[in-house]
Amino acid sequence: MNVYDPEILANDDELIIERPSREEAEEAVRTLLRWAGEDPNREGLLDTPKRVTKAYGEWFRGYSEDPVDMLQRTFGEVEGYDEMVVLRDIRYESYCEHHMAPIIGVAHIGYIPTDRVVGISKLARVVDAYAKRLQVQEKMTAQIAQSLFDVLEPRGVAVVLEGEHHCMSTRGVHKPGVSMVTSTMLGEFREDRSLRKEFLNTIGNPVNRGS
């Protein structure tokens, strides 16, 4: 069951979780400030809890967005076009579910339509809907691809994500500039090696960059 309600969150186990009040969220921020060694009552931090909760509303708005609904409107007047459609370098900002640190990167999407296409802005919106949640990049890649495959019913879908994980670049091993690449190929992209190669060449084949 998917729940898209600003007062309700649904996790992957389908448990319905009520959203805490804004006051409770702000108090949680004050607790974290004290834990970090700060005084939440000093002048510069007085409005920080409000700012943080407002920012969370932007960073995690994907929980109240339905990617499937975004793909419902399609267009059939394409004069029989049945070749690959590719939208590349879609910038996304997400947050890793292990450390809540940013994941910044780009997504590349390709699909082969049957008789209908979807507006390209909708592809970017689907990426954002999944990115604006706590994520694992491998899971996010599969979610985007499967949504497109299920709703559009194309002959094939290809999704490649590149991302720099700040949980690795700003903490832990401290390795900035490292990019993680994940891919999901469905339908003809999985079955046809030459088609998959054409897609990777079109997006610049991130697997071979720097080689």
User: What tens digit of pLDDT does each residue of 168-196 get?
Assistant: 999 899 998 899 999 999 999 999 999 99
Reported as a single tens digit per residue, the pLDDT across 77-108 is 778 888 999 999 999 999 999 999 999 999 99
User: Torsion over CA of 151, 154, 156 and 159, rounded to 10 degrees?
Assistant: -40
Q: Is 38 a catalytic residue?
A: no
Spot the catalytic one: 26, 108, 135, 137: 137
Q: Are 187 and 207 in contact, with CB atoms under 8 Å apart?
A: no
Whether 72 is catalytic: no
Helices (H), 36-161: 48-59, 67-70, 120-131, 137-152
Instruction: Determine whether 166 is an active site residue.
Output: no
Given a contact cutoff of 8 angstroms between Cβ atoms, the answer to whether 137 and 180 are in contact is yes
The separation between the first and the last C-alpha atoms of the chain, rounded to the nearest angstrom, is 44
How high does pLDDT run on average in the chain? 90
Is 97 among the residues known to form the active site?
A: yes
174 labelled catalytic: no
Q: Which of 38, 99, 146, 188 is catalytic?
A: 99
Catalytic position from the list 38, 65, 146, 167: 167
pTM across the whole model = 0.87
Q: Which of 27, 98, 138, 153 is catalytic?
A: 98
Handedness of CA 89, 93, 97, 101 (dihedral sign): positive
- Considering only residues 6 and 41, tell me which one the structure prediction assigns the higher pLDDT: 41
Among 1-10, 71-80, 81-90, where is mean pLDDT lowest? Answer: 1-10
Active-site entry in 26, 96, 108, 143 = 96
